[in-house]
């Protein structure tokens, strides 16, 4: 029986939602194809995550636990993934497309002589491989890609699949792991967290994104209030990160983060192709812009034409009423 393996990433001591989305999809592929659905978790406290993982349908969870995994480091992660991959021999090894995944996917493919399709919006099984849809050319075009190999690595954009609980009583496989200091090629000296305690945009269910239409502190306060009532993350167009109004880590788009929350509210953003490349995959897009011809309305599900300074206060009040 073939195996579909999912890598479950951990961030700030929590299971990454995007990994569980991928696992949910792999579970449905495994059920349809008769493959075994398995997962691997690698962390300093990896065994504590097994309960959360088995809820999403993994029948076997490979656990690699070692203090070295307290923070993301490419060398030990690559070694652990290679070890698990060599022993499980999955036909498909699926990842959420996180920054950490981008760092190691190519090296793992080379190391394991596997094919790789990165950053897909969806994927399925075909005879002898994987078929996937990949957004290309700043997400203007969806490219159909096939990889035919007995081992295919695939990374999936966050928000591409829904979370689907499918509880299993998983077999736990503890994987022996040790790493000699001499094997470490890099030293982690410091982690600088640019956006403090703000919500991780890759994991956020809702994002309120500000563009050049947000001109002053009053506008920023409205964005913060809307984000707060929706428990949303705050993002920004490049116009506002370049001018220093928002931190560069909050930039969404071709040269920023690629996000796909359930709800994306674009406030005072024109909808330039480079911005849309980073948010077009969002489930529901709401645009607020005073220009009825702004290109953002072409990708929006709901549009409000108006001055954000007049639209947002009653909009926020209505959401507060609904929430209460
Ligand atoms: P603008 O295009 O100036 O739009 C402002 C909008 O606000 C207008 O539509 C206006 O009608 C509206 N507005 C103004 N006042 C109000 C008001 N009071 N109420 C309501 N609406 C109002 N951009 C990104 O965002 N992310 C990227 O990753 C990115 N990468 C790039 C990479 C390259 C190589 C290049 C060349 C560009 C990149 N850009 C990126 C820049 C991009 O082309 C746009 O310049 C940028 O997205 C514009 O930001 P904006 O929509 O906030 O500003």
Give the 3-state secondary structure of residue 227: helix
Best of 201, 248, 258, 274 for a ligand 1 pocket test (most atoms within 8 Å of beta carbon): 274
Given strand 122-126, what is the order of strands in its sheet? 122-126, 129-136, 141-148
Q: What digits encode the pLDDT tens for the residues 1-24? A: 899 999 999 988 999 999 999 999
Candidates 162, 164, 126; CA nearest to 145 is 126
User: Is the CB–ligand 1 distance for residue 275 below 6 Å?
Assistant: yes
User: Is the CB–ligand 1 distance for residue 255 below 6 Å?
Assistant: yes
HSE value, Cβ hemisphere, 13 Å, CA-based, for 29: 26
User: Is the CB–ligand 1 distance for residue 220 below 6 Å?
Assistant: no
What band does 195 get if pLDDT is binned at 50, 70 and 90?
A: low
Q: What digits encode the pLDDT tens for the residues 279-303? A: 988 999 999 999 999 999 999 999 9
Q: What digits encode the pLDDT tens for the residues 214-236? A: 999 999 999 999 999 999 999 99
User: Is the CB–ligand 1 distance for residue 272 below 6 Å?
Assistant: yes
Lowest mean pLDDT among 11-15, 205-209, 216-220, 239-243: 11-15
For ligand 1, atom 44, the nearest C-alpha belongs to 272
Query: For position 187, what pLDDT does the model report?
Result: 86
Query: For position 169, what pLDDT does the model report?
Result: 94
Rounded to the nearest whole angstrom, what is the distance from the C-alpha of residue 104 to the centroid of ligand 1? 32
> What mean pLDDT do residues 263-274 have?
97
In angstroms, rounded to a whole number, what is the distance separating the alpha carbons of residues 78 and 1? Answer: 26
Beta strands in the chain (DSSP E): 3-8, 10-11, 14-15, 36-43, 60-65, 92-96, 115-120, 122-126, 129-136, 141-148, 152-156, 171-174, 206-210, 233-236, 263-267, 284-289, 302-305
Ligand 1 nearest-atom number relative to CA 236: 25
Rounded to the nearest whole angstrom, what is the distance from the C-alpha of residue 153 to the centroid of ligand 1? 35
| pLDDT-above-90 percentage for the chain | 82
User: Is the CB–ligand 1 distance for residue 251 below 6 Å?
Assistant: yes
Predicted TM-score (pTM) of the model is 0.83
Rounded to the nearest whole angstrom, what is the distance from the C-alpha of residue 213 to the centroid of ligand 1? 9
Rounded to the nearest whole angstrom, what is the distance from the C-alpha of residue 303 to the centroid of ligand 1? 17
For ligand 1, atom 39, the nearest C-alpha belongs to 274
CA dihedral 207, 211, 217, 219 (to 10 degrees): -70
Ligand 1 nearest-atom number relative to CA 270: 9
Query: For position 180, what pLDDT does the model report?
Result: 87
In angstroms, rounded to a whole number, what is the distance separating the alpha carbons of residues 80 and 94? Answer: 15
Rounded to the nearest whole angstrom, what is the distance from the C-alpha of residue 224 to the centroid of ligand 1? 19
Ligand 1 nearest-atom number relative to CA 254: 28
Mean pLDDT for the chain overall? 94
For ligand 1, atom 18, the nearest C-alpha belongs to 307
Query: For position 253, what pLDDT does the model report?
Result: 93
User: Is the CB–ligand 1 distance for residue 248 below 6 Å?
Assistant: no
Query: For position 197, what pLDDT does the model report?
Result: 57
pLDDT(82) > 60: yes
Best of 246, 253, 279 for a ligand 1 pocket test (most atoms within 8 Å of beta carbon): 253
For ligand 1, atom 14, the nearest C-alpha belongs to 213
Ligand 1 nearest-atom number relative to CA 294: 9
């Amino acid at each position: 029986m073939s195996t579909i393996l999912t890598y479950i990433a951990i961030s700030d001591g929590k299971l990454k939602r995007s990994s569980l989305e991928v696992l949910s999809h792999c579970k449905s592929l495994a059920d349809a194809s008769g493959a075994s659905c398995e997962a691997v978790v690698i962390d300093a406290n990896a065994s504590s995550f097994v309960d959360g993982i088995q809820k999403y349908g993994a029948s076997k969870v490979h656990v690699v636990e070692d203090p070295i995994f307290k923070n993301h480091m490419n060398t030990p992660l690559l070694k652990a993934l290679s070890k698990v991959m060599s022993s499980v021999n999955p036909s498909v090894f699926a990842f959420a497309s996180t920054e950490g995944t981008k760092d190691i996917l190519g090296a793992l493919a080379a190391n394991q002589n596997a094919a790789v399709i990165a950053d897909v919006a969806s994927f399925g099984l075909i005879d002898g491989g994987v078929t996937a849809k990949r957004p290309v050319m700043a997400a203007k075009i969806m490219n159909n890609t096939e990889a035919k190999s007995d081992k295919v690595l695939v990374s999936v954009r966050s928000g591409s699949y829904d979370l689907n609980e499918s509880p299993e009583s998983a077999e736990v496989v503890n994987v022996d792991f040790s790493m000699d200091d001499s094997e470490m090629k890099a030293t982690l000296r410091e982690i600088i967290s640019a956006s403090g305690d703000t919500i991780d945009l890759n994991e956020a269910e809702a994002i309120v994104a500000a563009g050049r239409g947000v001109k002053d502190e009053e506008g920023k306060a409205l964005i913060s209030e809307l984000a707060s009532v929706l428990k949303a993350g705050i993002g920004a167009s490049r116009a506002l990160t370049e001018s220093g109004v928002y931190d560069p880590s909050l930039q969404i788009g071709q040269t920023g983060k690629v996000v796909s929350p359930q709800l994306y509210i674009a406030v005072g953003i024109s909808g330039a192709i480079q911005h849309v490349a980073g948010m077009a995959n969002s489930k529901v897009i709401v645009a607020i812009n005073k220009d009825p011809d702004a290109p953002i309305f072409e990708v929006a599900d709901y549009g409000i034409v108006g001055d954000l300074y007049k639209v947002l206060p009653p909009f926020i009040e209505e959401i507060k009423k609904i929430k209460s």
